[in-house]
């Protein structure tokens, strides 16, 4: 018997959903990110206004002073939807686990100079309270913000910050004992060096405008804290003093910041490019929160850098300004 | 002039690669087959790392291309930034 193999190519009747096709033009194949983002925000049939905020609908773009003709103009350059996000983080978590294993199994933590270990504990462990604040804030932006393109990455950011708080806790437990967590909490609650930053975090909890909160947390505070602590202090200064092991333990934070800053820049750029009003509003917020964050971080930087802190922080602020200038905002 | 081509599997990884090739090579023809995209071009075809990175928002190693590569034709000129297929005239 003779069998002929034949290929039949079947052209799909439609490539994507109508609402996605309306946005990307024509019946083109859409990416999973586009399908998992566009027009997912509920927009109609809100029968009752929330009793806790009767001036607004449940989902209401007017909660923010930033105005967008279309809230789906925002784009996450990482194109994170649930699947892509969890895959990326699972991979990074494997690396982080391997790093912790490496440091632990070779006893590198015990080899750290005592003075350096104290500095690391004093500087890094209280930061888990800051990360927890960032977790709360991003969850709030997601809850009160508008449009999936803007809010979706915030909930990922929120989970990332929870992860960072956990990594910082593990660094503390690896270098010290459970007491270090209590000591760090005590420092966070009453040590002079931390009160400025604590006030910043607590003040951000009551910011009502979701976009202002975005600026306060993701643009200003993270934009200064991560380059200062994880790049300037841990990767440069401490590593040079024999703290390479610490840089390994905080590798996730360094990589994560490098990645998320692309998303933050894209968001600021899109909002600022929309209108002159948006740009002016953003500049006002960024200057206000940047100056507060810089002032709050100075005593924290002094914990590790002593008199060198001012110069390093000034450098970090300079880089921050250059970065935002690229995003179209003059601060 | 002769035609060079590159054929890639159709999936979420190759979508930005195909978009980048289409943007960088306006003369290329895209042929969509089941589970495969074959891109033909007269004379020369360039795959640029920077264009792919723009679309995926992370660093991309051009070697990652090979995971989803089915076939190609032409002389290959490969650097860290570009992969060019061409026929020497």
| pLDDT at residue A119 tops 70 | yes
Residue A304: which residues within 8 A CB-CB, separation 6 or more?
A119, A122, A123, A233, A237, A238
pTM: 0.89
Q: Note whether B57 contacts A29, CB cutoff 8 Å.
A: no
> What pLDDT is stored for residue A145 in this prediction?
96
| pLDDT at residue A312 tops 90 | yes
- Region A188-214: what's the mean pLDDT? 97
Q: Note whether B57 contacts A263, CB cutoff 8 Å.
A: yes
Q: How confident is the model at residue A8 (pLDDT cuts 50, 70, 90)?
A: confident
> What pLDDT is stored for residue B89 in this prediction?
60
- Region A245-265: what's the mean pLDDT? 95
Exposed e or buried b per residue across B60-70, where buried means at least 16 C-beta atoms within 10 angstroms of its C-beta: bebeebeebee
Q: Is the complex ipTM more than 0.95?
A: no
* Chain B residues close to A10, C-beta within 8 Å: 34
Q: Flag the least confident range among A5-14, A91-100, A235-244.
A: A5-14
Q: Note whether B34 contacts A10, CB cutoff 8 Å.
A: yes
- Report the C-alpha gap between A221 and A234 in whole angstroms: 18
Average pLDDT, chain A: 94
| pLDDT at residue A197 tops 90 | yes
> What pLDDT is stored for residue A134 in this prediction?
98
> What pLDDT is stored for residue B28 in this prediction?
95
The single-letter DSSP state of residue B71 is: E
Confirm if A279 and A63 have CB atoms less than 8 A apart.
no
Angle between helix A114-124 and A276-305 (nearest 10):
150
Q: How confident is the model at residue B56 (pLDDT cuts 50, 70, 90)?
A: confident
Distance from CA of A288 to the nearest CA of B (A): 29
- Region A27-52: what's the mean pLDDT? 91
- Region B74-83: what's the mean pLDDT? 94
Q: Note whether A9 contacts B33, CB cutoff 8 Å.
A: yes
* Chain B residues close to A262, C-beta within 8 Å: 57
Which residue of chain B is at minimal alpha-carbon distance from A83?
Answer: B12
> What pLDDT is stored for residue B57 in this prediction?
83
Residue A106: which residues within 8 A CB-CB, separation 6 or more?
none
The answer to whether the Cα torsion of A19, A23, A27, A28 is positive or negative is negative
Residues of B with CB under 8 A from a CB of A: 12, 15-16, 33-34, 56-58
Distance from CA of B3 to the nearest CA of A (A): 24
């Amino acid at each position: 018997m003779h069998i002929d193999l034949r290929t039949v190519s079947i052209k799909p009747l439609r490539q994507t959903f109508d609402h996605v096709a309306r946005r990307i033009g024509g019946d083109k194949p859409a990416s999973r990110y586009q399908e998992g983002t566009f027009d997912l925000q509920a927009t109609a049939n809100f029968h009752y206004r929330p009793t806790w905020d009767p001036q607004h609908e449940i989902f209401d773009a007017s909660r923010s002073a930033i105005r967008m003709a279309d809230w789906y103009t925002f784009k996450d350059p990482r194109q994170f939807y649930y699947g892509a996000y969890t895959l990326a983080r699972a991979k990074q978590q494997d690396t982080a686990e391997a790093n912790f294993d490496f440091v632990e199994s070779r006893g590198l933590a015990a080899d750290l100079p005592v003075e350096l270990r104290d500095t690391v504990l004093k500087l890094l462990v209280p930061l888990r309270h800051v990360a927890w604040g960032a977790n709360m804030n991003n969850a709030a932006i997601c809850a009160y913000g508008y449009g999936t393109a803007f809010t979706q990455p915030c909930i990922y950011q929120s989970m990332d910050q929870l992860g960072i708080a956990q990594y910082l806790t593990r660094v503390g437990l690896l270098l010290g004992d459970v007491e270090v967590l209590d000591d760090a909490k005590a420092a966070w609650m009453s040590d002079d060096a931390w009160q400025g930053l604590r006030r910043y975090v607590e003040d951000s909890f009551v910011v009502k405008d979701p976009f202002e909160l975005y600026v306060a947390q993701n643009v200003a505070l993270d934009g200064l804290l991560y380059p200062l602590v994880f790049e300037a202090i841990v990767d440069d200064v401490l590593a040079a003093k024999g703290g390479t092991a610490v840089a390994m333990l905080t590798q996730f934070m360094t990589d994560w910041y490098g990645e998320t800053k692309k998303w933050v820049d894209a968001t600021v750029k899109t909002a600022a490019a929309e209108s002159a009003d948006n740009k002016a509003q953003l500049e006002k917020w960024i200057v206000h929160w940047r100056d507060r964050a810089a002032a709050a971080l100075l005593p924290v930087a002094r914990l590790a850098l002593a008199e060198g802190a001012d110069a390093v922080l000034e450098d970090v602020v300079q880089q921050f300004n250059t970065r935002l200038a690229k995003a179209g905002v003059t601060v | 002039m002769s035609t060079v081509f590159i054929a890639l599997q159709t999936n979420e990884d190759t979508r930005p690669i195909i978009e980048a090739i289409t943007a960088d090579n306006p003369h290329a023809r895209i042929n969509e087959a089941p589970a495969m995209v074959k891109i033909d071009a007269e004379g020369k075809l360039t795959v640029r790392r920077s264009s792919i990175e723009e679309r995926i928002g992370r660093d991309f190693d051009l070697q990652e291309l090979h995971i989803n590569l089915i076939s190609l034709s032409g002389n290959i000129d490969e650097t860290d930034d570009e992969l060019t297929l061409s026929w020497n005239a």
